[in-house]
Structure 1
Amino acid sequence: MRRFLLVLVIISLFPVGLAWAQSGEEEENYTREFTYGINFNSNGGLLGGAMIKQVYHLNDKWYHFWALEGVEVKHPKETRLQNLQNGASFVRGKSNYLFVLRPQYGREYTFFKKAAESGVQVNGILAAGPSIGILAPYFIEYDRSNYVLDPRTQIYNRVGPVLISTEQYDPKVHTNDGLIVGAPGVFKGLSEPAFRVGANAKAGVSFEYGRYMESVTGIEVGMMVEAFAGDMTMVPDAPKRNIFRSVYLTLYYGRRR
């Protein structure tokens, strides 16, 4: 995932040349911009989360903004396995999900403004804010049925009824992966949240496209660092961490006026 994001960062730098080419054209002006989009990052797997953002013009090439991001943060040691009997999958050793809400305040500096009906706008971005971490238990469905070893075949046979228990995954307790028959999903864990407080900061570059002045489509790429206080255990057998660093890419769409 990290390599994939780095490739996207490199690809996204090509529009800078277009911005230089358009510098002599008529520039557009706007006082506010509202955008929303989806986030990909090196700590979030295939899809990291979503964001909304409101931008206001300050003066000349400076803008300031308020934003809210909601993402899932995964531990790099997570490994997904599949039960060969029923096809259900689960994350081996995972005891907690981590979801994060990030209210942010930031500044944008416009390096190149786009023309009224074409071109690319290039902005530099700095932002910071609190992080509200939500640790949600990761539950699995564990087979607690009674099994007895047949001495002739050396195969365990179930004796009595099938007993499937839904429990928070603990790798020290649930030692037999073959008895994990599935995972009930994230909503089960969200019913028992634990909250953590932290802070985040990011630096990035955005490239905004748009055929007309009132619409905008863009890509933002950059790096983020985030730290939390308290126990942040997600995978008990993996090294503990309270600081998370990531490379991110956000695709967004919106309106301006």
Structure 2
Amino acid sequence: MRKHLLTLLILVSGWQVHAQTEGAVIINNSKESAGRPGGIAYNRELSAGGRLTTAGWGAFADYTKRVNMDKKRTMYFEVMFLKHPKELKKVNEYNFAFSFDSPKPFVYAKQNSFFSTRFGYGNKFLIGEKAEKSGFEISFNYILGPSLGLVKPYYLEILYEQDGNIFSVPQQYAPETASLFLDASSIYGYSGFSKGLSEVSVLPGAFAKAGLSFDWAAFDEYIKSIETGIGAELYLQDVPIMILENNKPYFVFLYLSLQLGKKW
């Protein structure tokens, strides 16, 4: 009876170890792997994070699969809000308010908001690691692929006076309304993000980025890393963000991102 129980315990323990390490490669410090820290290198990763750039901010998600001990392949999706370098927010001060709503900040001479959706594919290469409790590694990675730009009209609350009464009307830029739209003293504020969503137009383009990733939990099943690097995005025509400034068909930016996720 004891022999059967012992056999059963061994089988259960073996199954648990297999379940925990399925899809993972165990690295040890044997002669065959001399110079490589000990731990577990997982075969797949799914993560998401936020990114700050010199041209805006956004969020991303990626799926990564290990090719070998020093290389991984990545599929990537990102949504970014991009701004013109000359954008400047301001607030007009008035001695009255509509429905107790104070004047809202707005960007002067802005005609469109711009968002970028990116779909990419790339590789990540291990360039250094250190054996600690959870492992630490530095990787170089690059991503490139198509992007789809979303151009949304930028609406402002423009002040009008009629029969001694002052009221505001949400309005987008047009050549026939340029005199009011560009008169800072007649602007009560930004109309809000939802205004203009039904009028979005698209611009096709492409993007690429490259950077260094620092993972301070390389042997853990959870991803905790930061990344810094440089990126660029190019469209088929000038991106119409500002009215009085030069608009260009490209963005070049530095970025810093925080990434969290799961390995298996």
Q: TM-score, normalised by structure 2?
A: 0.78
Q: Is the 8 A contact 1:117 1:211 kept in 2?
A: no
Correspondence 1:1-257 to 2 at 5 A: 25-44=37-56, 48-85=57-94, 86-113=102-129, 115=131, 117-146=133-162, 159-169=163-173, 172-173=178-179, 174-210=181-217, 213-257=220-264
Aligned partner of 2:31 in structure 1 is none
Pair 1:235–1:61, CA change in 2 (3 A): same
Pair 1:33–1:115, CA change in 2 (3 A): farther
Q: Deviations over 1:16-49 (max 9, x none)?
A: xxxxxxx6531421100111100100001xxx01
Q: Residues of 2 paired with 1:65 and 1:79: CA distance? A: 36
The structure with the largest alpha-carbon Rg is 2
Q: Alpha-carbon deviation of 1:79?
A: 1.0
- The DSSP-based 3-state class of the residue aligned with 1:111 is strand
- The DSSP-based 3-state class of the residue aligned with 1:172 is helix
Q: Deviations over 1:130-189 (max 9, x none)?
A: 01000000000001214xxxxxxxxxxxx4333321111458332321211111212112
The residue type paired with residue 117 of structure 2 is: L
Aligned residues: 220
The residue type paired with residue 225 of structure 1 is: A
Q: Is the 8 A contact 1:28 1:113 kept in 2?
A: no
- The DSSP-based 3-state class of the residue aligned with 2:60 is strand
4+ runs of 1 displaced by more than 3 Å?
113-117, 169-172
Q: Residues of 2 paired with 1:64 and 1:256: CA distance? A: 14
Q: Residues of 2 paired with 1:124 and 1:75: CA distance? A: 29
Q: Residues of 1 paired with 2:206 and 2:183: CA distance? A: 38
**Range with bigger deviation, 202-211 or 52-61:** 202-211
The residue type paired with residue 29 of structure 1 is: A
Aligned partner of 2:5 in structure 1 is none
The residue type paired with residue 146 of structure 2 is: P
Amino-acid identity (%): 29
Q: Is the 8 A contact 2:136 2:218 kept in 1?
A: no
Pair 1:211–1:245, CA change in 2 (3 A): closer
Q: Residues of 1 paired with 2:130 and 2:261: CA distance? A: 15
Where does structure 1 lack aligned partners over 5 or more consecutive residues?
A: 1-22, 147-158
- The DSSP-based 3-state class of the residue aligned with 1:178 is helix
Q: Residues of 2 paired with 1:133 and 1:175: CA distance? A: 25
Q: Residues of 2 paired with 1:220 and 1:112: CA distance? A: 15
Pair 1:188–1:249, CA change in 2 (3 A): same
Q: Deviations over 1:179-214 (max 9, x none)?
A: 111112121122210100000011111001228620
Q: Residues of 2 paired with 1:199 and 1:32: CA distance? A: 27
Q: TM-score, normalised by structure 1?
A: 0.80
